[in-house]
């Protein structure tokens, strides 16, 4: 199989510092100024480690941080189709796709988020191959609504390894979503379908498109929120994650909510809004005598509780809080929408994901718990 690889090295860089996206040079520069570190290369390496022993011919890629550097670290032979600098842009992604298509690749493996998927789609539309060239996305962005990505980087590698070893390749069109990042930063989720890319059919390794909330769940959300508030303890720091389900908890407390950020509550009072990784670590360091707890929900349709839209909850933050102090809340409707698939962990640390995996009591109503698998 002739495989092409492209990495958007700045994908997801705004996540840990609470910028809720990485689209545009201005946001990337702001993230770097706040101390953010690129992570797409490391996530790509996790995928490539699943491929190193099965790849039969050189991977076609771009120089430096867009591909070659990580392939060298993985010990995988590669062939350069395009030169680029370290400060890459969306146009570099587009140009790389065009160059790879000239080489008649069989499958495109790319690392990024929704913006990268749109760049890939634009380029494939330009070549006329959007409906014929299969792709697999390595999830590396802040919020990934599109259904062209694997559930985790390792599963992206597993899927490509299966294809390399001759597994049948059944493909289907999957949605590439367009999210208004500016509206997202202001607390509004505005998405539309940008188009479709071909992806392998694999209900285990490929993620579903994110689903929006359902109006008829309002009563269930109120019950969940009432339960969480009822059980809140004094002198405990609560890091309340993003989403409409967790927003119901803030509404029950009568507190302002950033909706798509992380808010901090102590003794039922808001002590910080829309915090990033550093702010949470500072709060933990400043309050060493206090227990901290994380309240998160699952993304509807996908099932992620960490790693999509809440990268502020870094492996360091989660480890300091402790696995026993993670509270997962979700309506039964949201769990049913997963059709038996587990809730998903993609913290950025395979070791931490493994530690958090297993059966977990999910708060699904007032004084109601549902035992559900995390994986």
pLDDT value for 253: 94
- Give the chain's domains with CATH numbers: 3-200 (3.40.50), 215-374 (no CATH)
Contact 120, 97 (CB under 8 A): yes
Residue 162 has pLDDT above 70, yes or no: yes
At residue 338 the predicted structure's pLDDT band, cuts being 50, 70 and 90, is: confident
Average of per-residue pLDDT across 105-125 = 95
Q: What share of the chain in percent tops pLDDT 90?
A: 58
Q: How far apart are CA 238 and CA 373, in angstroms?
A: 23
Contact 177, 145 (CB under 8 A): yes
Average of per-residue pLDDT across 153-158 = 95
Average of per-residue pLDDT across 279-308 = 91
Q: How far apart are CA 15 and CA 124, in angstroms?
A: 28
Query: The pTM is what?
Result: 0.66
Q: What is the mean pLDDT of the chain?
A: 87
Range name among 29-38, 88-97, 324-333 with the lowest pLDDT average: 29-38
Helix (H, G, I), strand (E, B) or coil at 299: coil
Better-scored residue on pLDDT, 20 or 369:
369
pLDDT value for 25: 57
Better-scored residue on pLDDT, 49 or 183:
49
Alpha carbon dihedral 134, 140, 143, 146, in 10-degree steps, equals: 0
Residue 47 has pLDDT above 50, yes or no: yes
Average of per-residue pLDDT across 271-285 = 95
pLDDT per residue over 174-198, tens digit each?
999 886 655 554 555 556 889 999 9
Average of per-residue pLDDT across 131-151 = 89
Place of tokens 């994908």: 11
């Amino acid at each position: 199989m002739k495989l092409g690889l492209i990495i958007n090295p700045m994908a997801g860089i705004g996540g840990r510092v609470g910028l809720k996206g990485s689209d545009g040079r201005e946001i990337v520069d702001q993230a770097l100024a706040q101390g953010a570190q690129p992570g797409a290369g490391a996530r790509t390496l996790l995928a490539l480690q699943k491929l190193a022993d099965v790849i039969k011919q050189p991977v076609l890629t771009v120089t430096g941080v867009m591909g070659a550097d990580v392939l060298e670290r993985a010990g995988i032979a590669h062939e350069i189709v395009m030169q680029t600098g370290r400060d890459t842009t969306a146009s570099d992604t587009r140009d790389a796709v065009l160059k790879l298509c000239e080489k008649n690749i069989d499958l495109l493996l790319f690392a990024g988020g929704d913006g990268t998927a749109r760049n890939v789609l634009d380029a494939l539309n330009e070549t006329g191959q959007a409906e014929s060239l299969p792709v697999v996305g390595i999830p590396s962005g802040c919020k990934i609504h599109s259904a062209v990505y694997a559930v985790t980087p390792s599963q992206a590698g597993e899927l490509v390894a299966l294809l390399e070893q001759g597994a049948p390749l059944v493909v289907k069109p999957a949605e590439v979503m367009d999210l208004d990042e500016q509206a997202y930063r202001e607390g509004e989720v505005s998405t539309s379908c940008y188009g479709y890319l071909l992806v392998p059919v694999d209900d285990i390794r490929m993620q579903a498109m994110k689903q929006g909330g359902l109006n008829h769940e309002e009563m269930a959300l109120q019950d969940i929120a009432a339960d969480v508030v009822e059980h809140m303890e004094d002198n405990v720091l609560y890091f309340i994650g993003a989403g409409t389900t967790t927003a119901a908890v803030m509404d029950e407390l009568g507190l302002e909510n950033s909706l798509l950020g992380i808010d901090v509550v102590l003794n039922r009072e808001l002590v910080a809004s829309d915090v990033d990784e550093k702010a949470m670590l500072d709060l933990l360091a400043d309050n060493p005598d206090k227990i901290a707890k994380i309240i998160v929900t699952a993304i509807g349709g996908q099932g992620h509780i960490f790693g999509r839209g809440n990268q502020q909850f870094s492996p360091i933050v989660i480890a300091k809080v402790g696995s026993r102090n993670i509270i997962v809340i979700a309506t039964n409707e949201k769990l049913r929408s997963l059709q038996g698939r587990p809730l998903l962990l993609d913290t950025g640390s395979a070791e931490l994901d493994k530690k958090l995996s297993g059966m977990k009591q999910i708060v699904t109503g007032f004084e109601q718990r549902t035992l559900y698998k995390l994986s």
